[in-house]
Structure 1
Amino acid sequence: MNEEVIITCALTGAGDTVGRSPHVPVTPRQIAASAVEAAEAGAAVVHVHVRDPESGAPSRDPRLYAEVVERIKETGTDVVINLTAGMGGDLVIDPERPLRQLPGTDLVSGLDRLPHVEQLLPDICTLDCGSLNFGDGSNLYVSTPDMLRAGAKRIQELGVRPELEIFDTGQLWFAKQLHAEGLLDDPTVFQLCMGIPWGAPADAGVLASMVNMLPAGAQWASFALGRMQMPWVAQAILLGGNVRVGLEDNLYLSKGVKATNGQLVERAVSITELLGARVATPDQARARLGLAPRA
Structure 2
Amino acid sequence: MAKPSRKVIITCAVTGGIHTPSMSPHLPVTADQIAEQAIGAAEAGAAILHLHARHPEDGRPTQDPEAFARFLPRIKQSTDAVLNLTTGGSPVMQVEERLQPALTFRPEVASLNMGSMNFGLFPMLGRYENFQHAWEPEYLEKTRDVVFRNTFKDIEYILESCADNGTRFEFECYDTSHLYNLAHFLDRGLVSGPLFVQSVFGILGGIGTHAEDVAHMRRTADRLFGDEYVWSVLGAGRHQMPITTLAAAMGGNVRVGLEDSLWDGPGRPAESNAAQVLRVRQVLEGLGLEVATPAQARAMLALKGGDQVNF
CA contact under 8 A between 2:63 and 2:97: conserved in structure 1?
A: no
Contact kept in structure 2, 1:156 and 1:184, CA below 8 Å: no
Higher share in strand: 1
Tell me how far apart the structure 1 counterparts of residues 162 and 210 of structure 2 sit (CA, whole Å): 31
| TM-score after normalising by structure 1 | 0.90
Matched, 1:152 2:159: yes
Aligned to 2:99: 114
Aligned letter for 2:154? Answer: M
In structure 2, which of residues 239, 249, 260 is the aligned counterpart of residue 228 of structure 1? 239
2:57 equivalent in structure 1: 54
The structure with the largest helix share of the pair is 2
Kindly indicate whether residue 44 of structure 2 is the aligned counterpart of residue 37 of structure 1. Answer: no
More moved, 78-87 vs 153-162? 153-162
Q: Does the CA-based 8 Å contact 1:166-1:190 persist in structure 2?
A: yes
State the partner residue of 1:255. Answer: 266
Letter in 2 for 1:3: R
Is structure 2 residue 141 aligned with structure 1 residue 129? no
Separation in structure 2 between the aligned mates of residue 172 and residue 199 of structure 1, nearest angstrom: 12
Distance 2:84 2:241 in 1: 21
| 1:5 maps to 2:16 | no
Which of 273, 279, 286 aligns to 2:285? It is 273
Q: Any gaps of 5 or more consecutive residues in structure 2?
A: 123-143
Distance 1:59 1:32 in 2: 16
Q: Which moved more, 1:132-141 or 1:213-222?
A: 132-141
Separation in structure 1 between the aligned mates of residue 90 and residue 266 of structure 2, nearest angstrom: 33
State whether structure 2 residue 173 is matched by structure 1 residue 166.
yes
Match of 2:126 in 1: none
Moved over 3 A (4+): none
Q: Does 1:21 align with 2:33?
A: no
Task: Give the stretch that moved more between structures: 242-251 or 155-164.
Answer: 155-164
User: What does residue 185 of structure 1 align with?
Assistant: 192
Alignment of 1:65-144 (within 5 A): 65-75=68-78, 77-87=79-89, 89-90=91-92, 106=93, 108=94, 110-135=95-120, 137-144=144-151
C-alpha distance in 2, partners of 1:72/1:177?
A: 35
Match of 1:283 in 2: 295
1:54-79: CA deviations, max 9, x gaps? 0101111111112221121232x111
Distance of aligned partners of 1:65 and 1:6 in 2 relative to their CA distance in 1, 3 Å threshold: same
Per the TM alignment, residue 89 of structure 1 is displaced from its structure 2 partner at its CA by 4.6
In the alignment, residue 155 of structure 2 is paired with which amino acid?
Answer: L
Task: Give the counterpart letter for 2:98 in structure 1.
Answer: R
Q: Which amino acid aligns with 1:78?
A: D
Picking from 225, 229, 236, the partner of 1:218 is 229
Distance, in Å, in 2 between the alignment partners of 1:210 and 1:45 is: 22
Q: CA deviation at 1:88?
A: 6.0
Q: Distance in 2 between matches of 1:87 and 1:269?
A: 27
Residue 190 of structure 1 contacts residue 221 of structure 1 at CA under 8 Å; is this kept in 2?
yes
Given that 1:29 and 1:71 are in contact with CA atoms closer than 8 Å, whether structure 2 keeps it comes out as: no
- State whether residues 38 and 261 of structure 1, in contact with CA within 8 Å, keep that contact through their aligned partners in structure 2: yes
Residue identity opposite 1:17 in structure 2? T
Q: Choose which of 238, 243, 268 in structure 1 pairs with 2:249.
A: 238
Letter in 1 for 2:19: D
Shift of the 133–294 alpha-carbon distance from structure 1 to 2, 3 Å rule, reads closer
Number of the residue aligned with 1:96: none
Counterpart CA distance in 1 for 2:155 and 2:19 is 26
One-letter amino acid of the counterpart of residue 126, structure 1: S
Which amino acid is the alignment partner of residue 227 of structure 1? R
The answer for unaligned runs of 5 or more in structure 1 is 91-105
Residue 256 of structure 1 and its aligned partner are, at CA, apart by: 2.6
Matched-pair contact (CA < 8 Å) for 2:233–2:253: yes
Aligned residues with identical type, % of pairs? 39
CA offsets per residue over residues 155-195 of structure 1, 9 Å max, x none? 23321001111011111101110111111122111110101
Q: Considering only aligned residues, what root-mean-square deviation do their CA atoms show, in Å?
A: 1.5
TM-score by length of 2: 0.85
**How many Å separate the matches in 2 of 1:202 and 1:268?**
18
Task: Give 2:196's aligned amino acid.
Answer: V
